[in-house]
Each structure stands twice: as C-alpha cells, then as structure tokens.
Amino acid sequence: MRVKSKEDERKISWGERGVTLKTAKKSYVVNYILVILLVIFLSVLFPLLDIQFSLQPRTVTEIFGTVVVFGFILFIGFLMEEPFLERMTRKYIITNDEVIKIDGIVRKTRIAIPARSVSDITVHKGIFGRIFDFGDVTVRGFKNEIIIKGVSEPEVMYKIIKNKVTVIGKKKGRIEEIEIEEKLKKRKKGRKGKKNEGLVRLPVIEMPEE
C-alpha cells in the first residue's frame, strides 16, 4: 500500500485545479444581530402603538398595522436569507495561474485576474471580523479588481495568493533571463562569424624532408 505524502494530501485537500471559496456564514453576524433587535423592537412596538394587524384589513389603522408588520417580516427575511443567496450565487476560485470570481446561477459572469497581472493584495477586517476571524481580501490587477467578501482566515488566503504571485514572478523572471542569455549568445556567435569572414585561410604547404 502506497503511503500518501504531504504533496498528495495537499493535492487532495486543495484539488488539482485550485481551491473554491465562498463567503463565510459568520461574516453575516451583523445580520443576525439586526434580526434579534428588530424582533425585540417589533414586540415592544406592538403594545406601545397599539398596532392592529389583520390578513383582511378594513380600516385605515388595520391597513397601516398590516403594512408595518409585513415590512418588518420582509426585511427580517432578507437579512436571514442574504447569506444563503450570497453563497449560492457567488464563488471564488484560486488556481496556480489566476484568481477567479464567478457570479450568477443560470447566466454566469466570470472575472479572472492572472497571477502575473496582480499588482496589489490587501486584507480588510472590521470589528466583528477581528473577533470571529473573517474579512475581505481584495486582489487588484492592471484592469480588474476582485473582492473576496467575508472569507474565513483572510490572512491565510492573502499568503496563498501572494505565494502564487511570487512563484509566477520568479518563473517569469527566469524565463526572461534565459531569453536574454540566448540573445547574447546569438549576438556573440554573429560577431565571431563576421570576424572570421574577414580572415583569409592560407593553404598548407608541406616541405620535403632533407
């Protein structure tokens, strides 16, 4: 039985083509706090304002109360469902060659920044991000910009992308060095050929032995 090496484990965990990221649920902690506050506010508002709620409102008071209640319910529902919609409609992929952002379900929009074109990488963490360890990683290219929103352990993602950019940069630099060396060699050969063209080869005369 073949023992798995660290390289094999890394390939299995990360995948051959790259790692897929989605916005962490804990990054929506503000939404959950707002939902709790709205529920408390709504429960206090009912007895204070004497709001009358009815599925079949007939008076102005009942219509007003019904609109207020439905408005609160819709807003609470949006706050609760926003994390699910975000994770369902958007994902990020980090490969060895590029950073990709894909939006949509049926009609998808794809934005990619090649690693060799990355000009800057930044991490932003708010108050709750520092407490629960999540934040936004912004990857800027020469033309586009991708913000990886609310990802867990953003510093780790920053280091991963930074390392890939560094590796690509070293490879690009080495290729350029090889190309320069080859050009210099060709120039030297060309110069030697031109020098040799100006030389006249004299015939070899063998002298008879005495």
For residue 174, tell me if it sits in a domain. no
Q: Classify each residue of 8-34 as buried b or exposed e, where b means 16 or more C-beta atoms within 10 Å of its C-beta.
A: eeeeeeeeeebeebbbbbbbbbebeee
By three-state DSSP, how is residue 210 classified?
coil
For residue 168, tell me if it sits in a domain. no
Residue 110, φ and ψ in degrees, nearest 5 = -120, 125
For residue 38, tell me if it sits in a domain. yes
pLDDT-based confidence at 189, cuts 50/70/90? Answer: low
For residue 83, tell me if it sits in a domain. yes
For residue 45, tell me if it sits in a domain. yes
Read off the tokens for 27.
Answer: 């990054």
Reply yes or no on whether the pLDDT at 133 is more than 60: yes
For residue 2, tell me if it sits in a domain. no
pLDDT for the residue numbered 13: 41
State the DSSP string of 82-135.
Answer: HHHHHHHHEEEEE-SSEEEEEE-SSS-EEEEEEGGGEEEEEEE--HHHHHHTEE
Mean pLDDT over residues 124-130, rounded?
91
For residue 185, tell me if it sits in a domain. no
For residue 113, tell me if it sits in a domain. yes
Structural domain total, the chain: 1
**8-25: pLDDT as tens digits:** 444 434 443 678 888 998
Cα distances (Å, whole numbers) of residue 156 to 34, 100, 122, 204, 206? 29, 17, 12, 74, 79
pTM of the model: 0.64
Q: Which domain holds residue 72?
A: 16-161
**30-65: pLDDT as tens digits:** 999 998 988 888 777 766 666 666 666 667 777 777
Mean pLDDT for the chain?
75
